[in-house]
């Protein structure tokens, strides 16, 4: 890698079997911004600049990791979510664009009156609850996860983004808090059946935590059942549960709530026009 033009060419050539040229360029420029703080225009102005040994080492190591299917976000250790910098590693999921939509959907409902108590179930990196707290600054926000490693990262991200959140290391399946009730519960729980693994990209399967992605084929609604039951006992009147869901299970989740007369459900689509979110409002 003599200069940045050659560096880019090597990336395009090395990764062409697994990614298209646009994807490779996006990755290259993301690494360039991370290492050099260069935008694309800076690259055009400096593309013939020679790389120093430290820069050569960084881009070579990054390319080797990409060849090994390691996601760019785990290479840089960070990503952006709702315009917030979020640190990530292989102990937490990489936030998806659909989950940003979930946050926007919630914020549309609370433009004026902030919910007093908010709970994020399965917080992972903390991206959802942190983005919510940034806008719902009058709300008391809590976040729960079974993983100590995930909670550690979420706490770091809360500090990084200057928000105050109460983090709880518990499994929602057996979490009990008789004295507490919430106005808003949000969750992006594991919802991909294990049978779908064969359709997924290697960089997801080999790197992201299975615990946060997959549920057993025999009980794909496991966490929706648990959280809806939790909501029956701990959600205030007119409180809401916001779920991200598998597109194939929208009717099943709605039916789950229809059995319980306490809730009214609506289904919302994502930017791909797929059923992706459910809002359940407690009416008594």
- pLDDT for res 7: 96
The per-residue pLDDT for range 176-224, each reduced to its tens digit, is 877 899 999 999 998 888 888 888 888 888 888 888 888 888 888 999 9
User: Would the pLDDT of 174 be above 80?
Assistant: yes
Widest distance between CA atoms in the chain: 68
Asked whether the predicted pLDDT for residue 284 surpasses 80, the reply is: no
The answer, as to whether pTM is greater than 0.85, is yes
Query: Does the pLDDT value for residue 1 go beyond 80?
Result: no
Judged against a pLDDT cut of 80, whether residue 260 lies above it is answered with: no
Gap between the Cα atoms of 224 and 244, Å rounded: 10
Mean pLDDT (the chain) is 93
8 Å CB contact between 185 and 242 = yes
CATH of 91-282 among 3.40.50.1860, 3.40.50.970, 3.40.50.2000, 3.40.50.150: 3.40.50.150
Which among 155, 164, 159 is positioned nearest to 132, based on CA atoms?
164
pLDDT-based confidence at residue 75 (cuts at 50, 70, 90): very high
Greater confidence, 137 or 193?
A: 137
Tell me if 117 sits within 8 A of 181, measured CB to CB.
yes
């Amino acid at each position: 890698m003599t200069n940045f033009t050659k560096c880019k060419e090597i990336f395009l050539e090395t990764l062409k079997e697994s990614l298209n040229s646009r994807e490779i360029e996006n990755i290259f420029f993301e690494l360039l911004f991370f290492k050099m703080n260069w935008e694309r225009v800076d690259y055009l102005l400096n593309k013939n600049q020679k790389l120093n040994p430290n820069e050569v080492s960084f881009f070579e190591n990054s390319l080797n990791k990409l060849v090994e299917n390691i996601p760019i976000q785990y290479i840089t250790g960070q990503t952006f979510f709702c315009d917030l910098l979020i640190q990530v590693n292989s102990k937490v999921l990489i936030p998806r664009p659909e989950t940003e939509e979930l946050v926007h959907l919630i914020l549309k409902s609370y433009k004026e009156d902030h919910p007093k108590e908010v709970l994020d179930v399965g917080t992972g990196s903390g991206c959802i609850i942190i983005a919510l707290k940034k806008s719902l600054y009058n709300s008391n926000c809590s976040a729960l996860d079974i993983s100590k490693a995930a909670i550690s990262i979420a706490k770091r991200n809360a500090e990084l983004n200057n928000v105050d959140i109460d983090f709880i290391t518990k499994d929602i399946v057996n979490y009990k808090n008789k004295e507490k009730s919430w106005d808003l519960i949000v969750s992006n729980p594991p919802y991909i059946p294990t049978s779908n693994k064969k359709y997924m990209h290697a960089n997801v399967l080999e790197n992201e935590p299975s615990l946060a992605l997959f549920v057993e084929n025999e009980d794909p609604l496991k966490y929706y059942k648990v959280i809806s039951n939790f909501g029956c006992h701990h959600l205030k009147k007119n409180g809401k549960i916001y779920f991200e869901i598998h597109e194939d299970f929208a009717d099943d989740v709605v039916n789950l709530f229809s059995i319980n007369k306490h809730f009214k459900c609506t289904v919302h689509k994502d930017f791909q026009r797929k059923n992706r979110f459910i809002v359940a409002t407690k009416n008594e």
